[in-house]
């Protein structure tokens, strides 16, 4: 049986019910990326939804700015175990962008400038759960945090909220993205600690 020095208690556990298991609260906003930070001009930025039939629906930066925006306040949970509460964003709901898209797809593969991808069920982008976010804390989203625009899906681990988003490919069958192909969980629910395959 293991023995511990008197007074050993490990990392203090928060009593905040908003904190998923295995997470700790941070007041910083750590920057984590799978590669170098792309620098994408708003003049050339484009977001495209491509259906399983190959039909493309595209928005320029000007198109995106002309759409009604929302200002969600959400908690963020990173797979590296930090959580940041009550973050303030501005962006366009995926419900609005997908409302005229005809599809039978169940899955979405999200593509970013720089080559990053991540997959998730299409239903997790709907019903007020996801945004294309271009504002953070009253300012533009910085390139380090995914600007000019990133996907925001706060109910899943943050690697699903792809930075530098450029498009969504709608699929009939799931296709793993970058981290999922490297052994991360296909879904990534913080409340079930779905960090890696098999969790």
pTM for the structure as a whole: 0.89
Q: What is the CA radius of gyration of the chain?
A: 18
Give tens-digit pLDDT for 31-72: 877 678 899 999 999 999 999 999 999 999 999 999 999 999
pLDDT of 1 above 80: no
Give tens-digit pLDDT for 166-181: 999 999 999 999 999 9
**Structural domain boundaries enclosing 80:** 41-192
CA distance 19 to 5: 28
Is 14 contained in some domain?
A: no
Is 13 contained in some domain?
A: no
How many domains is the chain built from? 1
Q: Check: CB of residue 74 under 8 Å from CB of residue 87.
A: yes
Is 1 contained in some domain?
A: no
50, β-bridge pairs: 56, 169
CA distance 126 to 157: 17
Is 12 contained in some domain?
A: no
Is 15 contained in some domain?
A: no
Is 34 contained in some domain?
A: no
Is 74 contained in some domain?
A: yes
Give tens-digit pLDDT for 133-176: 999 999 999 999 999 999 999 999 999 999 999 999 999 999 99
CA distance 36 to 34: 7
CA distance 156 to 78: 9
Helix/strand/coil for 148: coil
CATH number for position 138: 3.90.420.10
Is 8 contained in some domain?
A: no
């Amino acid at each position: 049986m293991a023995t511990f020095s008197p007074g050993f208690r490990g990392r203090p556990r928060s009593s905040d019910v908003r904190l998923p298991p295995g997470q700790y609260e941070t007041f910083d906003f750590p920057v984590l990326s799978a590669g170098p930070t792309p620098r994408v001009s708003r003049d050339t930025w484009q977001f495209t939804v491509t259906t399983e039939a190959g039909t493309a629906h595209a928005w320029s930066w000007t198109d995106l700015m002309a759409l009604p925006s929302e200002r969600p306040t959400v908690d963020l949970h990173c797979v590296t175990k930090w959580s940041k509460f009550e973050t303030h964003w501005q962006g366009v709901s995926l419900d609005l962008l997908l409302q005229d898209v005809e599809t039978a797809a169940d899955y979405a593969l999200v593509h970013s400038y720089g080559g990053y991808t991540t997959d998730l069920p299409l239903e997790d982008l709907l019903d007020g759960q996801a945004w294309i976010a271009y504002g953070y804390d009253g300012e533009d989203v910085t390139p380090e945090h995914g600007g000019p625009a990133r996907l925001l899906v706060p109910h899943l681990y943050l690697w699903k909220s792809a930075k530098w988003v450029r498009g969504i490919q709608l699929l009939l069958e799931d296709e793993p993205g970058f981290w999922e192909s490297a052994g991360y969980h296909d879904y990534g629910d913080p409340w079930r600690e779905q960090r890696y395959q098999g969790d």
